[in-house]
Amino acid sequence: MNFLDQIWLIPLFPLLGALLMLLFGKMLDPQPVSEVAIAPGVEPVSEHGGTGFSRSESHHHHPHSPLKFLINLICPGMVLLSFIFSVGAVWQLSGLPHRVHQIIQFTWIAGLPFHMANGQLATFTVDWGFLLDPLSSVMILVVTGIGFLIHVYSIGYMAHDNGYYRFFGYMNLFVFFMLMLVLANNYGLLFVGWEGVGLCSYLLIGFYFHKKSACDAGKKAFVVNRVGDAGFVLGMLLMLSVLGTLRFTDVNAILRSGRFPAETAGFGVLSAIALLMFFGATGKSAQIPLYVWLPDAMEGPTPVSALIHAATMVTAGVYMVARSSALFTLTPSTSTVVASIGAFTAILAATIALVQNDIKRVLAYSTVSQLGYMFLALGVGAYWVAIFHLFTHAFFKALLFLGSGSVIHAMGGEQDMRRMGGLKNKIPITHWTMLVASIAIAGIPGLAGFFSKDEILWQTYSSPQGSTLLWFIGLATAGLTAFYMWRLMSMTFYGQSRVAPEVERHIHESPASMTVPLTALAIGSVLAGWLGTPRAWTIFSDAWRGFPNWLAPVFSSAAVEAVKEGEHAASTEWILMGLSVAIAIIGISLAHYFYCVRTEIPDRLHARLKPLHMLLYNKWYVDELYDFLFVNGLGKGGGRVLGEFDRTIVDGGVNGAGWLTRAASRISMWWDTWIIDGAVRFGSFSVKMLSYPVCILQTGRVQAYAFFIVVGALAFLGYYIAR
Amino acid sequence: MHPIGTVHYLALSAALLLIGTVGVLTRRNIVIILMSIELILNAVNLNLIAFGHALHNIDGQIFAIFVITDAVAEAAVGLGILIALFRNKETVLADEIDLLKW
């Protein structure tokens, strides 16, 4: 079977699943009417509204639908089908000489002629086409593979929730849009997926729509994303106006042909395009200044956080910038902006994660921080490393989220780590898998996170576009990451149990549908990194380094290896590697010391450094700042100014015009009544007056008429006789 | 004693016409008016026959028969209208029926 020509089927399977679920799902899983009605008031312990004993009491109200297994079959099954097709297509792609396969199904937007910026006439066409190359192949494998595992996990996690079919319908819809995003062969179609995943994100964040905080979080995510999307659309239009095409292959061909010189000094039109597109990426991938929506997005069910807000959707911005690598290579100043924002986001989010108490919030800020790493890599021109980190991060961050979901499940909806502790032996599989993910993200050698993170740090240090300052920020972030991850592990699994006694009785390991995906992801978290071992590990030949070799054809040769090997000795790399491992171990040890050995230290530190703690705990007051500046400042204050403007200037104009019209109409009315109507009425009046004598004769009596006839006849007769 | 000649007929005819005309103009009851119209028509008939006899022309008699037929039809239609009027207005007095005006 030729999978390469069937890649259009890959996104179609989940779409089919989504349509089936959203159109007919209600028949498969009829919902009790009462629960939706009572939900707003009764949302007691269950923060995530999901599982646990608050729900288990209502089990008997929720009749087990006999057809529910069909949902379990269809939705993960569709994603599995996509995964199988993806694997087949990628396998066949590896056999092609250039490793590029493009199919164009039809023209989606056809032939609008327009003048480009240079005056040349061009036509605006957008294909409905799919491009499979090493970059998109990595993405589809991540999306379908990890997506499938998370779907399986959701079967267990969402089992007792209302709107089971709705959840799976949205999840499948999300997978469809995400696959459209990564398989599109042009920016226009990419944008379709881009908006679609935003929509699904909104729908799933607000899945527990009876909770106000969930609705607000959904709206916030939607609005903040739209801000970024505005930048993306503008960038796309500018690109269309300058290059005349949106198709990736054509764009790259033009940019690499040398028609546009690199904008090494100054700020040209390419920089504008790149900056606008990057602004779009900051919205989707939660970077400064638009990262604020992602922590709030944790209001959604945990599998959603794992799939959308950790593994796949938030990496769309990274994918898009990597896809535009030719553009960013030509604009070094923009790349510097990308790298700086990435590094700054990484460390800012990591500092916030240090003091959060909600287990999912820690992970959310961790995600923001890791995405910052990816942008740091993109900014220094190490595109494959960014994708590599995206790839490994997808495993261990999805695992962390699913693990935290398993913890929350066991705790009956409790998300506050201050009320956990000592769970190690009660939920052993969850503990072991999360332990793997934690040391993977912390950067302990041998696990996935070490390879990708270390490669980022090395490239940041050695690339001509990198700098020691950026490297240092990255290194500090690595230390912070290790610290807050181990803090999370310690507060959750080790030390004294702080669990409320009535919760403690209910703690149980999750069902197999949840633990099997956890285990699979744990294996991935260990192994995924070995595809890109450091250059300095000369024991592995270059051929062993599968990941960079695989991605090499996508990124222009300059970008693949920003480092010229001669410039930096391997010894430097070893030293840096040692440093990053050391700081990871220091972070872990410190966290262990603080939260397991001398548990009074954190409280003392809080007391001593109260302002700093408050600052971090309240997330640098960025939400408040945005509220002050944009929501209240620009939004409400601007609204007031605009309202005043409306009332005085706009309404004044309208009212003035109205007054003038009324005055004019009054004159016109006078003229009409007295002159025009007067003339008409005078005419009719005079006719009436003239006709009055005649009217008198017309009595209506037949005999009178007869009398006139006789008189007339006699008159004639008399006249003839008298003549 | 003169034999009865054309002049006599014409005199009678003129008298009938006069009576009929005055009847049409002065009587209020429509039935009487219709009868007066018959008188006028019969005055005409008398004229036609008298002149036909005097001139030895058969056309006068033929015309008279036509006029009689016509008179019958007219009486029928007139009485029909009268009945319809009576049903609607409950009157047969001509001066109370004065709709035919501006």
> How would DSSP label each residue in A235-248?
HHHHHHHHHS--BH
Residue A149: its pLDDT value, please?
Answer: 94
Residue A612 has pLDDT above 90, yes or no: no
Residue A124 has pLDDT above 50, yes or no: yes
Residue A541: its pLDDT value, please?
Answer: 74
Q: What is the DSSP letter of A313?
A: G
In chain A, the residue whose alpha carbon lies closest to the alpha carbon of B97 is A701
Mean pLDDT of A577-606: 87
Tell me the C-alpha distance between A103 and A8, whole Å. Answer: 8
In chain B, the residue whose alpha carbon lies closest to the alpha carbon of A704 is B25
- Listing DSSP states for B31-92 in one string gives HHHHHHHHHHHHHHHHHHHHHHHHHT-THHHHHHHHHHHHHHHHHHHHHHHHHHHHHHHS--
Q: Other CB atoms closer than 10 Å to residue A307's CB: what's the count?
A: 31
> Which tokens go with A103?
């199919």
β-bridge mates for residue B47, sequence order:
none
Residue B23 has pLDDT above 80, yes or no: yes
In chain A, the residue whose alpha carbon lies closest to the alpha carbon of B21 is A710
**What CATH code would you report for B6-93?**
1.10.287.3510
Mean pLDDT of A584-613: 85
SS3 of A502-517: HHHCCCCCCCHHHHHH
Structural domain boundaries in chain B: 6-93
Instruction: Return residues 59-98 of B near A (CB < 8 Å).
Output: 94-95, 97-98
Q: Is A717 on the interface with B (CB under 8 A)?
A: no
Question: Which residue among A698, A701, A702 places its CB closest to the CB of B102?
Answer: A698
Are the CB atoms for A309 and A379 separated by under 8 Å? no
Mean pLDDT of A273-289: 92
Are the CB atoms for A524 and A625 separated by under 8 Å? no
Tell me the C-alpha distance between A460 and A464, whole Å. Answer: 9
Question: Which residue among B94, B101, B102 places its CB closest to the CB of A703?
Answer: B94
Question: Which residue among A695, A699, A706 places its CB closest to the CB of B25?
Answer: A706
Q: Which residues of B touch A700 (CB under 8 A)?
A: 97-101
Query: Is A343 or A62 the better-scoring residue by pLDDT?
Result: A343
Q: Is B102 on the interface with A (CB under 8 A)?
A: yes
Question: Which residue among A695, A702, A707 places its CB closest to the CB of B100?
Answer: A702
Q: What is the DSSP letter of A113?
A: E
Q: Is B1 on the interface with A (CB under 8 A)?
A: no
Mean pLDDT of A469-477: 93
In chain B, the residue whose alpha carbon lies closest to the alpha carbon of A710 is B21
Per-chain mean pLDDT for chain B: 90
Tell me the C-alpha distance between A68 and A30, whole Å. Answer: 9
Tell me the C-alpha distance between B81 and A574, whole Å. Answer: 129
Mean pLDDT of A571-598: 88
Look at residues A303, A357, A513, A409 and name the one whose alpha carbon lies nearest to residue A46.
A409
Query: Is A111 or A550 the better-scoring residue by pLDDT?
Result: A550
Q: What is the dihedral sign for C-alpha A15, A17, A20, A22?
A: negative
Q: Which residues of A touch B25 (CB under 8 A)?
A: 703, 706-707, 710
> Which tokens go with A193?
């997926």
Instruction: Return residues 658-697 of A near B (CB < 8 Å).
Output: 695
**Shortest CA gap A693–chain B (Å):** 12
In chain B, the residue whose alpha carbon lies closest to the alpha carbon of A697 is B101
Band the pLDDT of A500: cuts 50, 70, 90. Answer: confident
pLDDT > 90 fraction of chain A, expressed in percent and rounded: 49
In chain B, the residue whose alpha carbon lies closest to the alpha carbon of A703 is B25
Residue A435 has pLDDT above 60, yes or no: yes
Inter-chain touch A701–B98, beta carbons under 8 Å: yes
**How is chain A split among helix, strand and coil, in percent rounded to 5?**
75, 5, 20
Inter-chain touch B97–A702, beta carbons under 8 Å: yes
Inter-chain touch B98–A710, beta carbons under 8 Å: no
Q: Name the phi and psi angles at B28, rounded to 5.
A: -90, -30
Q: Other CB atoms closer than 10 Å to residue A424's CB: what's the count?
A: 17
**Shortest CA gap B24–chain A (Å):** 7
Residue A590 has pLDDT above 80, yes or no: yes
Q: What is the DSSP letter of B7?
A: H
Q: Which residues of A touch B33 (CB under 8 A)?
A: 703
Tell me the C-alpha distance between A362 and A414, whole Å. Answer: 14
Query: Is B102 or A482 the better-scoring residue by pLDDT?
Result: A482
Look at residues A50, A153, A59, A53 and name the one whose alpha carbon lies nearest to residue A499.
A53
Residue A462: its pLDDT value, please?
Answer: 87
Query: Is A630 or A326 the better-scoring residue by pLDDT?
Result: A326
In a mutational test of the A interface, the residue from B17, B18, B24, B32 whose CB has the highest number of chain A CBs within 10 Å is B24
Tell me the C-alpha distance between B34 and B20, whole Å. Answer: 9
Q: Which residues of B touch A707 (CB under 8 A)?
A: 25
Q: Which residues of A touch B98 (CB under 8 A)?
A: 699-701
Q: Which residues of B touch A692 (CB under 8 A)?
A: none
Residue A196: its pLDDT value, please?
Answer: 94
Q: What is the largest CA-CA distance in chain B?
A: 57
Residue A411: its pLDDT value, please?
Answer: 87
Q: What is the DSSP letter of A126?
A: E
> Which tokens go with A114?
């327009």
Which residues lie below 8 Å from residue A32, measured CB to CB, with a gap of 6+? A61, A62, A63, A162
Question: Which residue among B24, B98, B102 places its CB closest to the CB of A706?
Answer: B24
Q: At what angle do helices A269-284 and A187-205 cross, to 10 degrees?
A: 30
Band the pLDDT of A567: cuts 50, 70, 90. Answer: low
CA angle A589, A591, A593 (to 5 degrees): 65
Residue A289 preceded by cis peptide, ω within 30 = yes
In a mutational test of the A interface, the residue from B18, B19, B25 whose CB has the highest number of chain A CBs within 10 Å is B25
DSSP reduced 3-state for A45: coil
Residue A41 has pLDDT above 50, yes or no: no
Inter-chain touch B102–A695, beta carbons under 8 Å: yes
Burial class (CB within 10 angstroms; exposed 0-12, middle 13-18, buried 19+) of A516 = middle
**Shortest CA gap A650–chain B (Å):** 59
Residue A345: its pLDDT value, please?
Answer: 94
Q: Is B100 on the interface with A (CB under 8 A)?
A: yes
Q: What is the DSSP letter of A308?
A: I
Are the CB atoms for A425 and A510 separated by under 8 Å? no
DSSP reduced 3-state for A110: strand
Query: Is A152 or A57 the better-scoring residue by pLDDT?
Result: A152
Q: Is A713 on the interface with B (CB under 8 A)?
A: no
In chain A, the residue whose alpha carbon lies closest to the alpha carbon of B27 is A703
**pLDDT tens figures, B61-95:** 999 999 999 999 999 999 999 999 899 888 888 88
Per-chain mean pLDDT for chain A: 86
Mean pLDDT of A415-439: 90
Q: Name the phi and psi angles at A652, rounded to 5.
A: -60, -45
Q: Which residues of A touch B97 (CB under 8 A)?
A: 700-702
Interface A:B, Cβ pairs < 8 A = 30
What ipTM does this complex have? 0.88
Residue A560 has pLDDT above 70, yes or no: no
In a mutational test of the A interface, the residue from B18, B96, B98 whose CB has the highest number of chain A CBs within 10 Å is B98
Q: Which residues of B touch A695 (CB under 8 A)?
A: 102
Mean pLDDT of A92-107: 89
**Shortest CA gap B82–chain A (Å):** 14
Residue A53: its pLDDT value, please?
Answer: 39
Inter-chain touch A700–B101, beta carbons under 8 Å: yes
Band the pLDDT of A568: cuts 50, 70, 90. Answer: low
Instruction: Please count the CA atoms within 13 angstroms of the CA of A510 that sit on its side-chain side.
Output: 32
Residue A55 has pLDDT above 80, yes or no: no
**pLDDT tens figures, A621-676:** 888 888 888 877 777 788 888 888 888 888 889 999 999 999 999 999 999 999 99
Mean pLDDT of A33-45: 42
Residue A97 has pLDDT above 80, yes or no: yes
Instruction: Return residues 11-50 of B near A (CB < 8 Å).
Output: 21, 24-26, 33
Inter-chain touch A701–B33, beta carbons under 8 Å: no
**Shortest CA gap A702–chain B (Å):** 7
Look at residues A706, A4, A538 and name the one whose alpha carbon lies nearest to residue B37.
A706
DSSP reduced 3-state for A117: coil
Q: What is the pTM of this model?
A: 0.75
Least confident residue range of A49-58, A503-512, A662-671? A49-58
Residue A77 has pLDDT above 80, yes or no: yes
Inter-chain touch A700–B21, beta carbons under 8 Å: no
**Shortest CA gap B60–chain A (Å):** 24
Tell me the C-alpha distance between A507 and A494, whole Å. Answer: 15
Tell me the C-alpha distance between A179 and A192, whole Å. Answer: 11
Residue A33: its pLDDT value, please?
Answer: 54
Tell me the C-alpha distance between A512 and A477, whole Å. Answer: 35
Inter-chain touch A699–B98, beta carbons under 8 Å: yes
Q: Please report, for residues A13, A49, A205, A241, the alpha-carbon distance to residue A212 in angstroms, rounded to integers and kept in the order given.
A: 34, 12, 11, 43
Q: Name the phi and psi angles at A287, rounded to 5.
A: -110, 165
Question: Which residue among A695, A699, A707 places its CB closest to the CB of B25?
Answer: A707
> Which tokens go with B58?
């058969």
**pLDDT tens figures, A675-686:** 999 999 999 999
Rg of the Cα trace of chain A? 36
Q: Name the phi and psi angles at A121, rounded to 5.
A: -85, 130
Q: Please report, for residues A2, A644, A647, A719, the alpha-carbon distance to residue A659 in angstroms, rounded to integers and kept in the order given.
A: 75, 20, 16, 74
Are the CB atoms for A553 and A100 separated by under 8 Å? yes
A102-135 as b/e: b if 16+ CB within 10 A: bbeeeeeeeeeeeeeeeeeebebbbbbbbbbbbb
